[in-house]
Structure 1
Amino acid sequence: MRSGLTILLLILLTGHASAQTDSSAATTQDSAVTTIRSADTLIRYRINGAYLGSIWQDLKYTVARPAHWEKRDYIRLGVVGGVAGILLAGDYGVKQFFVHHQSNFMTSVTDQIEPFGNAYSPYLVAGMYVAGVITHDRKLEHGSLMAAKSLIISTVIYATIKSVIRRGRPTYYDSPFSFEPPLTNDKQHTSFPSGHSLTVMTVATAMAELYGKDHPWVPWVAYGIAGLTGATRLYENRHWSSDVWIGMALGHFVTKSIFRHQRELEHKKAMKLLAVSL
């Protein structure tokens, strides 16, 4: 996973007015509206100082989001926490189920899916960026940088949580309640949350945000792969089910927050253009 992030870090608007001439205020206002609706309101990143600075700005925005939560956000938190509690209570049973239902065929299948969580996803983002640059596809180039930024920020948050909550991996412990003090270096207590699940869900959410509106099949495929990747971590006895759930939830909502911030910045840009046009 670190190698994938290293690769990401290293690799790391026109409107037209009507031809008619009218001196009325209504026509002037309509022209301003036309300009606001143009591509000039979009923010498209390239690897430069502005992009690198946006990573820090988005990190601050995401961390501060709970202070601005609305009712629906607390409902989502309740759902995530409630499901996590149910899974926590059943973690041992889930582990036993997968341990007793392993086979050579299933192992061969999971071996093909599991790399989506630590290798394929970062390489996919890097490949998107290279393809966007070569083909001069600004949407693809920008989209890859948005995905990369989401992955970097979600990983920083995930790594911080993992360093504080030192939970024993099911590979080494039968009890899902084996914990060590924060900031210890015991690699056996690095279970919570699941990094593979966070990585693949982060990229899946970014793909859904970027292409889901125009291609409805993208979220189904992206989230489907993410779900299967999480299941491989249970099958391979590398994580508890609650680890996988929280990793996926964290990757999903952090990425949604980053794209929300993007839309807010574009809205502010549109308002500035409107103020200048009036």
Structure 2
Amino acid sequence: MLKRLLFVLMVACTDNACAQVHINKDLDSLKSHYDTVAQVNDTRSEAYTETTRITFPIYFKLLWSDLKQQVTAPIRGNKQDWIRFGGLVAGTAVLSFADEPLQEKALEWRNNSSTVRTVSRQVTHLGANYETYTLISLGVYGFVFKNEKVKTTTLLATQSYITSAVIMAVIKNTAGRQRPDYIDPATGKAASKFHGPSLNHSDEFKSFPSGHTTAAFAAATVYAMEYRKSIIVPIVAYSAASLVGISRVTENKHWATDALIGATIGYLCGRVVVNNYHRFAKLMNARKLKGTASVTVNYSYGVLQPGIIYRF
């Protein structure tokens, strides 16, 4: 039901115009290393206009472009990307040795505190139903009050949510990791085992990575980047997402490394989605100016020099 509501909202927030823009070729990730930390996005409210609006057809063009860039990222990585990836792998490997001890401590903390149990139980839903409700509410607000930035940000959050979910699902079925609340019949104990690829893994073997944490960081990153000039929004967004990750451990549904990788996937997917949209916006603004002329007047050495600028 929630997924249907989210889809209806997406349709309502987009324009049903039939304008077709050939953006796939321009945003083709295989031709250039697009997603870069150095990219500066124009996130001023006035930058979200009719020209840069995400229409219904453009939503899916961008979604496909987002997913393609995310999937092909490994073959486009530069030296710094591989160094970061190596650091992540090394850090995850080290943390994996502490997975079981950390799980025991988390459960001990939860069992000894009614406050932790209550808060953990509520916070963990921020990465699932509560997040969906929030996106729907923000989308409705943007649509009703005609706030283009809110509408655009909400649509980008849904794209990040969708693409990260696809990647997460593939990894879950490939890893086949036991959840910490699964008791192995052979040993009578819980263990952080990986059983490898299978299309028939039951939920007990889909621990890695954490889906709730992935979703939380996918949306949080979009809002943090779109409202980067705000002091409060990035702090609240990432704090809430981090609490979701912690709650998945205290709820005994995931190991610590599950949450770490889930957060990483969500963050990276969110970055690609936001940066891809702003490249699209620049393309649209450039096309709008194409074929236009403007009159200029310069004053130099006491002489007025009129001129005309034509954009080809």
Tell me the residue number matched to 1:235. Answer: 250
Deviations 1:116-135 (Å, cap 9, x if unpaired)?
01111121111111111100
Tell me the residue number matched to 2:72. Answer: 64
Give the SS at the match of 1:167: coil
Structure 2 residue aligned with 1:128, among 132, 138, 147?
138
User: In 2, distance between residues paired with 1:178 and 1:256?
Assistant: 29
CA contact (8 A) 1:207 1:222 kept: yes
Tell me the residue number matched to 1:257. Answer: 272
CA contact (8 A) 2:174 2:198 kept: yes
User: In 2, distance between residues paired with 1:50 and 1:272?
Assistant: 15
User: In 2, distance between residues paired with 1:193 and 1:204?
Assistant: 17
Tell me the residue number matched to 2:54. Answer: 45
Tell me the residue number matched to 2:233. Answer: 218
Change (3 A) 1:181 1:159: closer
CA contact (8 A) 2:226 2:274 kept: no
Tell me the residue number matched to 1:192. Answer: 208
**Aligned: 1:11 with 2:9:** yes
Deviations 1:241-268 (Å, cap 9, x if unpaired)?
0100000100000110111212222333
- Structure 2 residue runs of 5 or longer lacking an equivalent are 11-45, 184-189, 292-310
**Aligned: 1:54 with 2:69:** no
User: In 2, distance between residues paired with 1:150 and 1:44?
Assistant: 17
Tell me the residue number matched to 2:40. Answer: none
User: In 1, distance between residues paired with 2:6 and 2:250?
Assistant: 29
CA contact (8 A) 1:88 1:242 kept: yes
CA contact (8 A) 2:52 2:285 kept: no
Deviations 1:162-217 (Å, cap 9, x if unpaired)?
1222110000142212425421232210101100100111111011011122x122
Tell me the residue number matched to 1:31. Answer: none
Question: What amino acid maps onto 1:145 in structure 2?
Answer: L
CA contact (8 A) 1:168 1:177 kept: yes
Question: What amino acid maps onto 1:250 in structure 2?
Answer: I
Give the SS at the match of 2:234: helix
Change (3 A) 1:100 1:227: same
Root-mean-square deviation (CA), in Å?
2.2
CA contact (8 A) 1:92 1:176 kept: yes
**Aligned: 1:247 with 2:262:** yes
Question: What amino acid maps onto 2:251 in structure 1?
Answer: E
Question: What amino acid maps onto 1:248 in structure 2?
Answer: A
Which structure's residues are more often helix, by fraction?
1
Question: What amino acid maps onto 2:54 in structure 1?
Answer: Y
**Aligned: 1:82 with 2:98:** no
User: In 2, distance between residues paired with 1:178 and 1:163?
Assistant: 11
User: Deviation at 1:154?
Assistant: 0.8
User: In 2, distance between residues paired with 1:7 and 1:74?
Assistant: 39
User: In 2, distance between residues paired with 1:41 and 1:68?
Assistant: 33
Report how many residues are paired. 250
- Structure 1 residue runs of 5 or longer lacking an equivalent are 13-37
TM-score for the superposition, normalised by structure 2: 0.74
User: Deviation at 1:140?
Assistant: 0.9
User: Deviation at 1:4?
Assistant: 4.1
